[in-house]
């Protein structure tokens, strides 16, 4: 069984992330969206991000959402993932992710990394921009699942 790990902080998960998970779910038997802890957030905030991601991805049958607090390659090995999926929107993303790929390969040579680009209509969306727009009261409905929109608008996540 092929299993891929799509790691990140997903703060918040947005339609670009969902697009990549949908496409990965066709390529792999199992997809794990691994939500990493953030040093600036509380453990309860991680649980909220996990629950919101589960809601946003509930329509995809072969996806599991799990929070983690370890090196990504260690988590991948723990869950039996042989591939790490990374989303690439820009050349800047690629530069950073390629450096991470090489570091991960040095730590765990048996785990591969693949890159997917989001669909054109999602290529400009980022979590930080979504948070910024929501912080100023802007309309984020076309960028996120309704549960994430509500959480941002009611300041459950910031």
The overall longest dimension of the chain from CA atoms, in Å, is 45
Q: How many residues does the chain have?
A: 158
126 annotated active-site: no
List of E strands, the chain: 3-8, 30-36, 63-68, 83-87, 112-116
- Whether 49 sits among the annotated catalytic residues: the reply is no
Between the alpha carbon of residue 22 and those of residues 63, 85, 141, 142, 156, the distances in Å are: 9, 12, 19, 17, 26
89, 105, 131, 156: the active-site residue: 89
Q: Which of 3, 41, 54, 131 is catalytic?
A: 41
- 42 catalytic? Reply is no
- Give the whole-angstrom CA distance, residue 154 versus residue 85: 31
Contact 98, 62 (CB under 8 A): no
- What is the phi-psi region of residue 137: left when phi exceeds 0, alpha when psi lies from -120 to 50, beta otherwise? left
Rg of the chain's alpha carbons, rounded to an integer?
Answer: 15
In the residue annotation, 41 being an active-site residue is answered as yes
Q: Which of 17, 49, 86, 145 is catalytic?
A: 17
Q: Residues with catalytic annotation? A: 17, 41, 89, 127
């Amino acid at each position: 069984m092929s299993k891929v790990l799509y790691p990140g902080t997903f703060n918040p998960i947005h339609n670009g992330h969902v697009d990549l998970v949908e496409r990965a779910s066709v390529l792999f038997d199992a997809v794990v969206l691994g939500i990493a802890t953030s040093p600036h957030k509380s453990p309860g905030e991680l649980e909220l991000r996990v629950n919101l991601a589960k809601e946003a991805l509930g329509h995809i049958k072969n996806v599991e959402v799990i929070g983690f607090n370890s090196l990504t390659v260690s988590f991948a090995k723990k869950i039996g993932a042989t591939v790490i999926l990374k989303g690439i929107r820009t050349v800047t993303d690629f530069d950073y992710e390629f450096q991470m790929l090489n570091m991960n390969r040095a730590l765990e040579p048996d785990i591969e990394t693949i890159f997917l680009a989001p669909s054109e209509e999602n290529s400009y969306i980022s979590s930080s921009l979504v948070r910024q727009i929501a912080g100023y009261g802007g309309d984020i409905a076309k960028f996120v699942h309704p549960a994430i929109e509500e959480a941002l608008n009611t300041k459950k996540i910031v």
